[in-house]
Structure 1
Amino acid sequence: MCGRFAQYSSRDDYFASLGLAPDDIQFDPQPIGRFNVAPGTRVLLLNAREGEMHFDPVFWGYGPAWWHKPPLINARGETAATGRMFKPLWQHGRAVVPADGWYEWKKTGNKKQPYFIYHQHRQPLFFAAIGKAPFDQAHDKEGFVIVTASSDKGMVDIHDRRPLVLRADAVHEWLSEETSAERAQEIARDAAVPEQDFSWHPVSAAVGNIHHQGAELIRAVETE
């Protein structure tokens, strides 16, 4: 995953896909409207605390006190549950990023062509994430990372890694504080949306500039 995605639907749209009721979490019909979410910014993150669902703005990036490099933005799903960096987050900081799609860059010769990848039926996506809980107290550089998986089938032609997108019916269990780290590994393995459920098309190179945020960024363009 190259590190850009879109989170432009309303909270209502995301929460309705998860079967959340107004009593479970505060709804908002206004579109979030972010077509070019970049690392190092605060992102609305769905998480569970003390038996209740919360939607908090959390810094996209993570680096513990002993980490003296730029914050990481992704964690490989194959190793996150057991590695030194991410094991504590996997156990106690599981979250979900509601999204509408993400961007990848395909290298062709000396050029890189961006693509927008989304559910073929335009359904909301739920990226598995892990971070420093509790998220309402998260500081910059100790926020969250998006869990990634290896690409397969046609998607590998765009990029060899992708966000781990969870099925909507698996999100509640992934977020639950009662779900063990071992069970979360099973969810990550068995409840991911498969590659054949996604579509993609080339988009403007303007998405490479974080100052560009309009809806035109997700529109298909002609390629040479």
Structure 2
Amino acid sequence: MCGRFAQYESRDQYFDALSLNPDDILFDPEPIGRYNVAPGTSVLLLHHLDADYHLDPVHWGYGPEWWNKAPLINARSETASTGRMFKPLWRTGRAIVPANGWYEWKRDGSVKQPYFIHHKSDSPLFFAAIGHTPFDRDNPAQGFVIVTAASDKGLVDIHDRMPLALEPKAALEWLNPETSAEQAEEIAKEGAVSLNEFAWHPVTKKVGNIRNKGPELIEEIDDAEL
């Protein structure tokens, strides 16, 4: 995790959930409508630049110049602040991915069943992210990664990792350029949405194909294999 997620509400709805005012950012009521966001694509990323909030399309994937492998898409919250790969991003490249939920695949041998995981109230989620700044949509190697945390309780039965989804107040603190790297570590530990607030259900295996993009992908199915 995180390998696929949904970002389908409007910018207005995400910003309302963060209590951002129209003066902070250009609002747009048109639904984004992405039900199958995959790595390697441009994703609307909320970040702070020049005392303003910006929501820009940024490549999901990151690899510094010395990295000779495929770009990474996730960073572990437990090690990102200190490791060679992500330490600089943790300090100066914190961002938020507004989302409505994410997909995980439960596995048993060769059988895989996707699940859609979301807030019980269906309110927006705000995934902690870190990336290369200034964010550049035209440089796919210098994009962003989603920060992940360990799963617990019922979620661990589906996957042992999950995106670090922050409460709205914590998300804004995470974005604040005056927040230190050490304070960001505390936010990652204390500002996450409680695992009791999540719900999940099995969905169609069509989500495994990035060509499938419609709202039917998040609908619960009755014939789940796992």
Q: Same-fold call, TM > 0.5?
A: yes
CA offsets, 1:36-63, max 9 Å, x none? 0000000000000121100010000000
Return the TM-score normalized by structure 1: 0.98
| Alpha-carbon RMSD | 1.0
Runs of at least 5 residues in structure 2 that lack an aligned partner in the other structure: none
In the alignment, the residues of structure 1 paired with residue 106 and residue 137 of structure 2 have an alpha-carbon distance, to the nearest angstrom, of 37
Further displaced range: 154-163 or 137-146: 137-146
The alignment partner of 1:184 has SS state of helix
Alignment of 1:12-51 (within 5 A): 12-51=12-51
- 1:207 CA drift (Å): 0.1
Shift of residue 2, structure 1, vs aligned partner? 4.4
Give the TM-score of the pair, scaled to structure 2.
0.97
For 2:139 and 2:187, how far apart are their aligned partners in 1? 28
SS for the counterpart of 1:91 is helix
Moved over 4 A (4+): none
Conservation of the 8 A alpha-carbon contact between 1:132 and 1:138: no
Report the Cα distance in structure 1 between the residues aligned to 2:138 and 2:98, rounded to whole angstroms.
Answer: 19
Is contact 1:60-1:143 (8 Å) kept? Answer: yes
Cα distance in 2 for partners of 1:64, 1:161 equals 24
Quote the offset at 1:221 in angstroms. Answer: 0.5
1:64 aligns with 2:91: no
Q: Distance in 1 between matches of 2:105 and 2:69?
A: 24
Secondary structure at 2:13's aligned position in 1?
helix
In structure 1, C-alpha distance between the alignment counterparts of 2:54 and 2:88, rounded to whole Å: 20
Q: Structure 1: which 5+ runs fail to align?
A: none
User: Partners of 2:48 and 2:4 in 1: how far apart?
Assistant: 25
- Number of residue pairs aligned between Structure 1 and Structure 2: 224
- Determine if contact 2:167/2:191 at 8 Å carries over to the other structure: yes
CA shift in 2, pair 1:218/1:99, >3 Å:
same
Q: Partners in 2 of 1:109 and 1:74 — Cα distance?
A: 25
Distance 1:124 1:158 in 2: 21
User: How far is the alpha carbon of 1:141 from its aligned partner?
Assistant: 1.2
Shift of 1:138: 6.2
After TM superposition, the structure 1 = structure 2 runs for residues 110-149 of structure 1, keeping only pairs within 5 Å, are 110-136=110-136, 139-149=139-149
Query: For the residues of structure 1 that align with 2:93 and 2:157, how far apart are their CA atoms?
Result: 32
User: CA, structure 1 residues 136+68, in 2 after alignment: closer, same or farther (shift >3 Å)?
Assistant: closer
Distance 1:134 1:167 in 2: 25
